[in-house]
Amino acid sequence: MPRPRTAYPHFLTIPTRWMDNDVYGHVNNVVYYSYFDTVINQYLMAMEVLDYDQGTTIGLAIETQCTFHQSLKFPEVIEAGLSVGKLGTSSVRYEIGLFRAGAAEPAAEGYFVHVFVDRASRKPTPIAGRLRDVLSALMPQ
């Protein structure tokens, strides 16, 4: 069963682009992962816990998955929902739902796992302080 809109505490509106469609007239499957990456990183940057240019800690994607329920296409507007399903010592599993504007059920949903590492050494580093607080805020209450 698809997760309802209420399962996601954060949303980002993402307009589809002409180039997102493939020759079959719908958003190509690889673009969904770009939407996942966009809602996650926009949230982290808006909450000021990700400095992708100078930060000492960065998140590396180690696993992703997407289940397609309905096709999306240009020129639709997507509302990308974001929650945290699991928060570990150095990793986080984000849960994402991609909804047509105003829809109750997602057209697609999936997950994205980040491992936070030291930028220089690429060794896992604990999720602590404000980053942990920001991620915890996305967990089910």
Alpha-carbon gap, residue 123 to 141, rounded angstroms: 31
Quick check: is 113 in a domain? yes
Whether 96 maps to a domain, the answer reads yes
Specify if 80 maps to a domain: yes
96-113 average pLDDT score: 96
Cα torsion 32, 65, 10, 105: sign: positive
> Structure pTM?
0.94
102 to 3, 68, 82, 136: CA distances (angstroms): 15, 18, 16, 26
Proportion of the chain above pLDDT 70, given as a percent: 100
In the numeric block, which tokens belong to residue 83? 């929650």
Backbone torsion region of residue 9, taken as left when φ is above 0, otherwise alpha when ψ lies between -120 and 50, otherwise beta: alpha
Residue 34 sits in which domain range? 5-136
State the pLDDT at residue 88: 97
Residue 132 lies in a domain: yes
Does some domain include residue 21? yes
As a whole number, mean pLDDT of residues 69-88 equals: 97
Mean pLDDT within 58-76: 96
In a domain, 56, yes or no: yes
Average pLDDT, the chain: 95
Q: Tally the domains of the chain.
A: 1
Q: Answer whether residue 51 is part of any domain.
A: yes
pLDDT in tens, 6-60: 999 999 999 999 999 999 999 999 999 999 999 999 999 999 999 888 889 999 9
Query: Within a domain: residue 141?
Result: no
CATH number of the domain where residue 113 is located: 3.10.129.10
Please name the helix (run of DSSP H) or strand (run of DSSP E) that holds residue 135, with its range, or none: helix 129-136
Q: Which residues contact 88 (CB under 8 A, 6 or more apart)?
A: 127
